[in-house]
A and B are shown apart, each in its own frame.
Chain A
Amino acid sequence: MTPEEEKKVLASSPVGTWVVMATYGVIFVVTWLAMYGLFLSRGPVH
Chain B
Amino acid sequence: MSITAEQAAGLAAKSRSGVTEVEAYGNKLGLWSMWVAFAALALGLPMGLFQAAERSGFFPGIENTAVYFASTSTHGVLLAFVLTTFFAMGWGHHTLAHVLKKKPFFGWTSFWVALTGTVIAAVPLLTGYASVLYTFYPPEMGHPAFYLGATLLVVGSWFWVADMIIGMTQWRKENPGKPVPLVAFMHVMTALLWGWTSMGVASEAVFQLLPMAFGISATIDPGLARTLFSWTLHAIVYFWLMPAYIAMYMIVSKEAGGKLFSDEFARIAFVMLFIFSVPIGFHHLYVDPMQAAGWKLLHMFGTIMVAVPTFLTGFTVLASMEIAGRLRGGKGLFGWIGALDWGNPLVLAGGLSLLMLTAGGWGGVLNAAYTWDVMVHNTQWITGHFHLIFGGTTVIMYLAAAYWLWPRITGNALFSRKLAVTQLWLYFIGMVTLTAPWHVLGLVGQPRRVSSTPYDAFPELVASWSVYEALMIVGGVILVISGFMFIYNLLMTHFNKVPAADTKVEYAVAIHEPMRVPNILNSLSFWNWAMLAYMIVSYGYPILQFAFIGTPGSIRWGT
Q: Which A positions have Cβ atoms within 8 angstroms of B?
A: 1, 6, 9-10, 12, 14-17, 19-21, 24-25, 28, 31-32, 35-36, 39-40, 44-45
Contact = CB atoms under 8 A, between A and B. Distances in A.
Give the bracket for the number of chain B residues in contact with chain A.
20 to 34
B337 interface: yes
B336 interface: yes
Nearest to A43: B375
Contacts of A16: 322, 333-334, 336-337
Given A16-B336, A17-B318, A21-B314, A40 B327 contact: no
Contact of A17 (B322, B375, B443): B322
A40 B322 contact: no
B366 A32 contact: yes
Nearest to A21: B315
Nearest to A28: B362
A44 B374 contact: yes
B315 A17 contact: yes
B329 A24 contact: no
Contacts of A19: 333-334
Contacts of B371: 36, 40
A14 B327 contact: no
Contacts of A24: 314, 358
A40 B372 contact: yes
Contacts of B259: 10
Contacts of B376: 45
10 contacts: A6-B327, A9-B323, A10-B327, A17-B318, A19-B334, A21-B315, A35-B372, A39-B375, A40-B375, A45-B445
Interface string B313-326: 01100110011001
Given A16-B337, A17-B315, A39-B443, A32 B323 contact: no
Given A31-B362, A40-B375, A20 B329 contact: no
B19 interface: no
A24 to B, nearest CB: 6
Nearest to B361: A28
Given A14-B261, A16-B333, A21 B318 contact: yes
A12 B318 contact: no
B365 interface: yes
B511 interface: yes
B311 interface: yes
Given A10-B511, A45-B379, 13 more contacts: A1-B327, A9-B323, A10-B259, A14-B261, A16-B322, A17-B319, A31-B362, A35-B372, A36-B371, A36-B372, A39-B443, A45-B374, A45-B445
A12 B376 CA distance: 44
B372 A12 contact: no
B266 to A, nearest CB: 15
A15 B333 contact: yes
A7 to B, nearest CB: 10
A20 B351 CA distance: 13
A44 B375 contact: yes
A32 B319 CA distance: 25
Contacts of B315: 17, 21
Nearest to A24: B358
A4 to B, nearest CB: 13
A32 B365 contact: yes
Given A32-B362, A32-B366, A40-B371, A14 B322 contact: yes
B314 to A, nearest CB: 7
Nearest to A36: B372
Nearest to A6: B327
A15 B372 CA distance: 34
Contacts of A35: 366, 372
Nearest to B325: A16
Nearest to B336: A16
A25 B361 CA distance: 11
A21 B390 CA distance: 22
Interface in B177-203: none
Contacts of A40: 371-372, 375
Given A17-B318, A24-B358, A9 B327 contact: yes
Please provide the 4 A-B residue pairs with the shortest distance between their CB atoms, ordered closest to farther: A14-B319, A17-B319, A14-B322, A17-B318
Contacts of B323: 9-10, 14
A14 B318 contact: yes
Contacts of A20: 318
B375 A45 contact: yes
B479 to A, nearest CB: 26
Contacts of A17: 315, 318-319, 322
Interface in B343-362: 358, 362
B543 to A, nearest CB: 28
A46 B318 CA distance: 42
